[in-house]
Structure 1
Amino acid sequence: MKKIIYIIVIAFTFSVNAQEFKLSPYAQYLMESPFVISPAYAGVTDAHKLRISGVMQWLGVKNAPHTQVIAYDTRLNEKTGVGAILYNDSNGNTKQMGGQLSYAYHLTLEEADESYLSFGLSYKFNHFKIETGKFDDGQGVGQTDPYVGGDQTTSNHNFEFGSLYRYKRFFIAINASNILNKRLKIFDNTEPQKLRNYYAYAGYVFLSENDEWEYEPSLFFKYFESDGRNVTDVNFKARKLTDDGYYWAGINSRFINDQTFKPLSVTPLFGLKKDKLYLGLGYQLNVNESVQFGSYGTPMLVLGYDFDSGRYRTSWSSRK
């Protein structure tokens, strides 16, 4: 019985995160997939961009979370972009499926100075489920215990707003996600009603003198309004440009901001683009004792396909 109660508490903890209507980004946004963190990136290039990603969290831990995401965005005309995301997430006896539909509007502030401003809006939907019928305390009483009850499900809707400013090789994106408060307490009275979280993502791309290399330092910041939690990613990428694409390597370090000198995780990243095909690989290593759980880390994979480019005059490199 104690084990069942413990499982329920853990499941409810994940339910709060699930109701935030957006899966926490690992490092996929660095794998040429910034659309997954901001609707303002929808159609920012002139190509149809398809990205399929998978994350297997806490490798070596039984029933650990695993996530699959399909993202697509494209340019409709010189100023308008659209996109869609579908995801499936499983964490033991808790499961969620959801997605978002995005619209973006791109403005040219000063073409000579390469100054551009983009705005994006997303409608998001989420279905969350706790499969209590699969609870088991090792003695087979999980399915008949009257204190457990039946499966718990809920469906939710919300919105996200994002903006993106680009000046030459500098960029900054700012997001507000889960704009609407949650009115109902689905599971218990400890659930937060304010699900808003805020993102900021900024960086600069340096070009080598021989135009063969690009170096991109960047920062990603996330803040949760409900309890003040906040994290920062410190990133660096290097790209080797080729005639038919590029290949790159990078590093992502994630920090809980009240533990500045104790990174939560470190993620080496690798990828390549050849013609229309893209491949990205990452392996998140948990270096903070509080999140190791005896796991071997979190592998991630991104597969991509870019096609029908060159339809419109856009300022943004297709590798973004």
Structure 2
Amino acid sequence: MKSIKYIISCTLLLITLSIHGQQDPLYTQYNYNMNVINPAYAGSKGVLSVGILGRSQWVGIEGSPRTLTLAAHSPVGKNVGLGLSVIADRVGPVRETNIFGDFSFTIVTSENSRLALGLKAGVTSLQVNTLTANNNNDPLNVPIDRTAPNFGTGAYFYTDKFYAGFSIPNLLKTRYLEKSAGVVSTASEEMHYFITSGYVFDIYEDLKLKPSTMIRGVKNAPLSVDISANLLWQEKFEFGLSYRFNKSFSGVIGFLLNEDMRIGYSYDQSVGNFGNFNFGSHELMLLIDFNRRNLKSPRFF
């Protein structure tokens, strides 16, 4: 019985670490949170922007992902943008904290378009809690706490109506765990590739359509493709739908609390049989764009 329990504990831990090592946190409201994945986005809004986002994924499944994100960025001078992002992610026994600073430099390509290039640098801290705390003889009953540096890069082209970006937020493949007490446990941060794009269509004077997409690639995992379409009414109320291919459908709603502050909520429902085992994913966002009212051409992404 003891050996069976040990094998099950090892298997659960390795599966969790394997999944976690291949996946960065998912976001449904990525349009308002892009400097987390692309450092070139820093400063592109023309004002100081601060956002807080909390996500609870696959509610009802024990140990499912929980993510809290704080992101801020601002232009500094004429062509430079600076940003900071803190991501606290928990999946089962694994706690991961990322703290990154962003730098961007913007090139004026025409009267109405800009190309920004960005760099990201910071640290990732990984902590693993034991699964067998009541068994002092279990070799897995050893706390794991590792910290490693990482770097990222990105490019972001935008106008008042359109944007397109490409980024790799983690250039270094970091190996966190090694062989210990005869048990091989590995978790590594794989390179993620992000492609994002979107456009703002003026349907009527007070109604805008905002289609967007995000494609994410990582080694040993299928491409993740998000397609979204949001309607913005009177530049205050926003609602839309999103589809993550073969994974989930999402509904999004948001509104301005005042001229500078926006709140948003999204609900994801998993497709296929997996949807029968959880109560969906919930995401709540608060975004503050300071002095947005003073912008001559307000941004809608």
Q: Same fold (TM over 0.5)?
A: yes
Match of 1:249 in 2: 239
Paired residues for 1:222-237 under 5 Å = 222-224=216-218, 226-237=219-230
Are the equivalent residues in 2 in contact too, given 1:216–1:237 (CA < 8 A)? yes
Are the equivalent residues in 2 in contact too, given 1:125–1:158 (CA < 8 A)? yes
Shift of 1:212: 1.1
Equivalents in 2 of 1:211, 1:4: separation in Å?
Answer: 64
Out of 186, 190, 199, which is 1:204 matched to?
199
Shift of 1:19: 4.6
Are the equivalent residues in 2 in contact too, given 1:25–1:37 (CA < 8 A)? no
Normalised by the length of structure 1, the TM-score is 0.83
Aligned residues: 295
Equivalents in 2 of 1:254, 1:307: separation in Å?
Answer: 32
Match of 1:260 in 2: none
> Is the aligned partner of 1:219 residue 2:213?
yes
Change (3 A) 1:145 1:294: farther
Match of 2:156 in 1: 164
Are the equivalent residues in 2 in contact too, given 1:73–1:82 (CA < 8 A)? yes
Match of 1:47 in 2: 47
Match of 1:28 in 2: 29
Match of 2:275 in 1: 292
Normalised by the length of structure 2, the TM-score is 0.88
Equivalents in 1 of 2:296, 2:116: separation in Å?
Answer: 12
Shift of 1:168: 5.2
Render the CA deviation track for 1:226-253: whole Å, top value 9, x for unaligned. Answer: 32531111111110124xxx11011111
Shift of 1:41: 0.9
Equivalents in 2 of 1:104, 1:180: separation in Å?
Answer: 20
Are the equivalent residues in 2 in contact too, given 1:78–1:314 (CA < 8 A)? no
Are the equivalent residues in 2 in contact too, given 1:279–1:302 (CA < 8 A)? yes
Match of 1:69 in 2: 69
Equivalents in 1 of 2:161, 2:296: separation in Å?
Answer: 14
> Is the aligned partner of 1:123 residue 2:121?
yes
Structure 1 window deviating more from structure 2 (10-19 vs 79-88): it is 10-19
Shift of 1:200: 0.4
Change (3 A) 1:35 1:177: closer
* 1:144 counterpart SS class: coil
Q: Percent identity?
A: 20
Paired residues for 1:93-132 under 5 Å = 93-111=93-111, 114-132=112-130
* 1:110 counterpart SS class: coil
Match of 2:146 in 1: 154
Change (3 A) 1:177 1:9: farther
RMSD, aligned α-carbons: 2.6
Paired residues for 1:294-309 under 5 Å = 294-309=277-292
Residue identity matched to 2:7: I
Render the CA deviation track for 1:251-285: whole Å, top value 9, x for unaligned. Answer: 11112xxxxxxx21111000012311110001111
* Structure 1 residues without counterparts, runs of 5 or longer: 137-141, 256-262
Are the equivalent residues in 2 in contact too, given 1:154–1:186 (CA < 8 A)? no
Shift of 1:37: 2.3
Shift of 1:121: 0.8
Change (3 A) 1:293 1:88: farther
Change (3 A) 1:146 1:10: closer
* 2:26 counterpart SS class: coil
Match of 2:190 in 1: 195
Match of 1:259 in 2: none
Equivalents in 2 of 1:168, 1:278: separation in Å?
Answer: 19
Residue identity matched to 1:305: I
Change (3 A) 1:181 1:98: closer
Equivalents in 2 of 1:229, 1:296: separation in Å?
Answer: 24
Equivalents in 2 of 1:229, 1:190: separation in Å?
Answer: 23
Render the CA deviation track for 1:115-160: whole Å, top value 9, x for unaligned. Answer: 210111111311111111x536xxxxx4324332411222122111
* Structure 2 residues without counterparts, runs of 5 or longer: none
Shift of 1:306: 1.8
Change (3 A) 1:143 1:271: same
Change (3 A) 1:189 1:165: farther
